[in-house]
Amino acid sequence: MDYQAVIEEVAAHARPYAGQGQVADYIPALERVSADRFGIAVADIDGKVYGAGDWEVPFSVQSISKTFSLALVMAQGHSSHSGDDEIWRRVGREPSGTPFNSLVQLEAENGIPRNPFINAGALVVTDRLLTLTGDASTALLHFLREESGNPDLAFDQAVADSEADHGDRNAALAHFMASFGNLENPVPSVIEHYFWQCSIEMSCRDLAVAGGFLARHGLRADGSRLLEAREAKRINAVMLTCGTYDAAGEFAYRVGLPAKSGVGGGIVAVVPGRCTLCVWSPGLDARGNSVAGAAALDHFTTLTGWSVF
């Protein structure tokens, strides 16, 4: 596979879509990012990276961080001897069919979020990581620095502050779950760590490399094992069914890969056994997914014939 040639063809196909959609204007710090940016990177399972466009420009990872937080919770479960089943007693694995910040299902389902990739579910995962590590956001940042090979990764103070200033819905979700006994730590601490995690800035290159353990069936960049193969399989499965908000069915239909999107305009996708991709373009569709990013991944799987189907 000539990755570079494929990536350049994909970029040429997707670039006209850049600028379509709307940036995430409900987070003021994200509203200032130009919608017409576009980047794409691919990291193969040996760590070789190929890119095109704005693939080395850092952006706010937002909900993409949820995949890595979940992986850390499952990995930490080994060392604490609690196993990965602990988190699945508190979070479901089903698509939500509702917006990522919806309160509706929590009432009917006794404070158990439908999956770990909607905001309510991610707050529970953050809460669990906080219990396991004592500092959820720093644990995540250190892990991402190690896996990406980029020691300069950092939180974006302006984004974190912006989210905190406009985080009433997330606070409501957390308080509601706490009322059902589904949080172990104080609500303000959980929310603070959640916002810091979402504020991390990474490039397409950083994210493609950092997500490589999902393509390597749980093996980290240094060859050590983060997750058992069955656990990596399970994370990929939940990414496929729940990773692109309430558009996961349409995304699976178009792209056919496990993926996790964020309202910063990034999407990380996994081809198990082959490579990990990251695309970035800030213009979002009505479901919160990058318009140009989805078009790029659609074209990538069409060109290569690589999907999980």
pLDDT at 84 over 60: no
Q: How far apart are CA 103 and CA 119, in angstroms?
A: 10
Same domain, 75 and 10: no
Mean pLDDT of 278-307: 97
Confirm whether 268 is domain-assigned: yes
How far from 283 is each of 25, 30, 105, 300, CA to CA, in Å?
A: 10, 11, 28, 19
Helix H, strand E, coil C: the string for 89-158 is CCCCCCCCCCCCCCCHHHHHCCCCCCCCCCHHHHHHHHHHHHHHHCCHHHHHHHHHHHHHCCCCCEECHH
Closest CA to 124 of 132, 112, 139, 142: 112
Closest CA to 267 of 232, 238, 291: 291
Same domain, 182 and 213: no
Confirm whether 164 is domain-assigned: yes
Residue pLDDT, tens place only, 111-167: 999 999 999 999 999 999 999 999 999 999 999 999 999 999 999 999 999 889 988
Same domain, 255 and 194: no
Residue pLDDT, tens place only, 273-291: 999 999 999 999 999 999 9
Which residues carry out catalysis? 63, 66, 194, 245, 263
Residues above pLDDT 70, as percent of the chain: 97
Residue pLDDT, tens place only, 59-68: 999 999 999 9
198 near 63, Cβ under 8 Å?
yes
pLDDT of residue 80: 54
Same domain, 177 and 80: yes
Confirm whether 309 is domain-assigned: no
pLDDT of residue 103: 81
Domain that holds residue 221: 3-62+204-304
22 HSE (CA, 13 A, CB side): 9
Same domain, 191 and 233: no
φ/ψ (deg, to 5) at 173:
-60, -45
Q: How far apart are CA 134 and CA 147, in angstroms?
A: 21
Confirm whether 90 is domain-assigned: yes
Confirm whether 75 is domain-assigned: yes
Order across the sheet with 154-155: list the strands: 59-60, 200-202, 154-155
pLDDT at 42 over 70: yes
Q: How far apart are CA 146 and CA 309, in angstroms?
A: 32
Q: Classify 200 as helix, strand or coil.
A: strand
pLDDT of residue 107: 84
Same domain, 217 and 193: no
Confirm whether 126 is domain-assigned: yes
Same domain, 47 and 98: no
Mean pLDDT of 292-299: 98
Tokens 């985080």, residue located: 167
Same domain, 74 and 157: yes
pLDDT band at 25 (very low <50, low <70, confident <90, very high): confident
Confirm whether 256 is domain-assigned: yes
pLDDT at 193 over 80: yes
Of 154, 169, 198, which residue constitutes the final position of a domain? 198
Same domain, 188 and 262: no
Mean pLDDT value across the chain: 94
Copy the structure tokens of residue 269: 């996708």
Same domain, 228 and 271: yes
Say which range, 42-46, 82-86, 171-175, 228-232, has the weakest mean pLDDT: 82-86
Copy the structure tokens of residue 46: 């040996």
Query: Which residue numbers belong to the known binding site?
Result: 63, 119, 163, 170, 194, 245, 263
Q: DSSP state, 57? A: S
Torsion (CA) 85, 89, 94, 98 in degrees, nearest 10:
-140
pLDDT band at 101 (very low <50, low <70, confident <90, very high): confident
Same domain, 115 and 91: yes
Query: Which residue numbers belong to the known binding site for substrate?
Result: 63, 119, 163, 170, 194, 245, 263
pLDDT at 183 over 70: yes
Confirm whether 278 is domain-assigned: yes
246 near 254, Cβ under 8 Å?
no
**Dihedral over Cα of 160, 283, 307, 304: its sign:** negative
Of 198, 232, 255, which residue constitutes the final position of a domain? 198
Q: How far apart are CA 91 and CA 11, in angstroms?
A: 37
pLDDT band at 178 (very low <50, low <70, confident <90, very high): very high
pLDDT band at 81 (very low <50, low <70, confident <90, very high): low
Order across the sheet with 39-44: list the strands: 49-53, 39-44, 275-280, 266-271, 259-261
Closest CA to 120 of 98, 108, 103, 140: 103
Residue pLDDT, tens place only, 243-255: 998 899 999 999 9
pLDDT of residue 79: 57
pLDDT band at 82 (very low <50, low <70, confident <90, very high): low
Q: DSSP state, 173? A: H
What's the structural domain count of the chain? Answer: 2
Q: What is the CATH number of the domain that holds 220?
A: 3.40.710.10
47 near 206, Cβ under 8 Å?
no
CB atoms within 10 A of CB 123: 27
Q: Classify 244 as helix, strand or coil.
A: coil
Of 198, 213, 248, which residue constitutes the final position of a domain? 198
Same domain, 69 and 186: yes
